[in-house]
Amino acid sequence: MPEYHFRISELPETERPRERLRNQGAEALSDAELLAILLRVGMTGVNVIELAQQILMEYGGWRGLQSSHFDDVCRRKGMGEAKTAQLKAALEIGRRLAMLGFESGTQIKSPTDVAQLLQIEMSHLDQEHLRVVCLDIKNRLQKVVTVYVGNVNSSQVRIGEVFKEALKLNSAAIILCHNHPSGDPTPSPEDVRVTTQIIDAGKLLDVDVLDHLVIGKGRFCSLRERGHCRW
């Protein structure tokens, strides 16, 4: 006898995702329930909550879904273009909301502040990106600029490009940030070497290099906290 899969409409009202969100708030819902509301319907033999659970497991949660390619998710059985578009739009809204607290003029007080500003986006990049966070004399955010895409090493990173925007903005300090697509944020010897070269150049240009963050999957490492930079 085939296994029976219940429909959402067969659940008690207190257990249905939309009703639970209405009555208890979105924070009360599991990841699968939140995703189920976005997807709206399941597929033959699989209700929408089961489909959401499967998708979250297959892609490794929200981070995996955010970094996945649109066409890949679209081809997944039970998805399609409309559902994938809704999902990608919701994830992008979440990313933008996370960045709203770090608009120009926000004071950066710790490595965690920088990680919160950049980690959501940079942890999903397929290539290494080197970004420079430009700060004024009170460590207030002026601008974030991408200065390099590719392997971050001393033979390829041009020091002039690192400081170009900071000098244009008359920045007092900068913070470097790059990602490791492998997901492991442990700094390599080359990361340390590049950081040292940029710090030395900053001294000549009268621009303090406060830190260099390495972003991984859900984690980051501060070279300042490891003793390679001075706040």
Work out whether strand 129-135 and strand 208-215 pair parallel, antiparallel, or are unpaired: unpaired
Tens-place pLDDT, residues 127-163 = 899 999 999 999 999 999 999 887 776 557 788 899 9
Single out the residue in 64, 82, 99 at which a domain terminates: 99
Mean of the per-residue pLDDT values of the chain:
85
Lowest-confidence range among 13-17, 78-82, 115-119, 151-155? 151-155
Note the pLDDT of residue 212: 95
User: 12 falls in which pLDDT band (50, 70, 90)?
Assistant: low
pLDDT surpassing 50 at residue 5? no
Task: Report the CATH number that the domain containing residue 143 is assigned in CATH.
Answer: 3.40.140.10
Q: Do both 139 and 176 map to the same domain?
A: yes
Query: What is the torsional sign of CA 37, 42, 48, 54?
Result: negative
Q: Do both 116 and 212 map to the same domain?
A: yes
Single out the residue in 99, 123, 139 at which a domain terminates: 99
Query: What is the torsional sign of CA 182, 184, 189, 190?
Result: positive
Q: Do both 135 and 193 map to the same domain?
A: yes
Contact 108, 133 (CB under 8 A): yes
Q: Do both 81 and 107 map to the same domain?
A: no
Looking at the chain, list the stretches that DSSP marks H as alpha helix, in order from N- to C-terminal side.
17-24, 31-39, 48-59, 61-67, 70-75, 81-99, 111-122, 159-168, 189-205
Q: Is residue 229 part of a domain?
A: no
pTM above 0.85, yes or no: no
Q: Do both 75 and 20 map to the same domain?
A: yes
Distance CA 94, CA 161 (A): 31
How many CB atoms lie under 10 A from the CB of residue 137? Answer: 10
Q: Do both 91 and 167 map to the same domain?
A: no
Q: Residue 136 is part of which domain span?
A: 103-222
